Amino acid sequence: LAALPTELRECLVLRELEDLSYKEISEITGSPIGTVMSRLWRARRSLAQVARGSPA
């Protein structure tokens, strides 16, 4: 998590640890919902790649 770019980590923490909806994350970060979805996707893929042992 700490290695993720801040904007990706921010969305992921708000979603996974704070259980906020896309709309709520959008409001907090000031980003469009589409951007929230894209950042969540990139964050999760990065972590999945790390978990598989390949470079993120």
Partner 1 sequence: MTDTSNGPMQSHNDQEMAFLIQAEIDGELSPADAARVAAHVAASESGAALRAELLAVSGRIRREAPRFTPPDDFADRVRARLDAATPALASGTGHGRARFRLPRPSWAVGSSFGAGFAIAAMLLLIVMPPRSREDLPGSVVADHVRALQPGHLLDVISSDHHTVRPWFDGRLDFAPPVKDLKEIGYPLRGGRLDYLVGRPVAALVYAACPHLIDLYVWPAGAPSIESSGQRSGYNYVRWQQDGMQFWAVSDLARDELATFVRHWRTG
Buried b (16+ CB within 10 A) or exposed e, 17-41: eeebebeebbeeeebeeeebeebbe
Would you report the helix, strand and coil content of the chain in percent, each value rounded to 5? 70, 0, 30
Catalog residues that contact partner 1 under the rule CB under 8 A: 1, 5-7, 10, 12-13, 15-17, 19, 21-23, 28-30, 32-35, 37-38, 40-42, 44-45, 47-49, 51
Give me the least distance between CB of 53 and partner 1, in Å please: 14
Give me the least distance between CB of 35 and partner 1, in Å please: 7
Give me the least distance between CB of 14 and partner 1, in Å please: 9
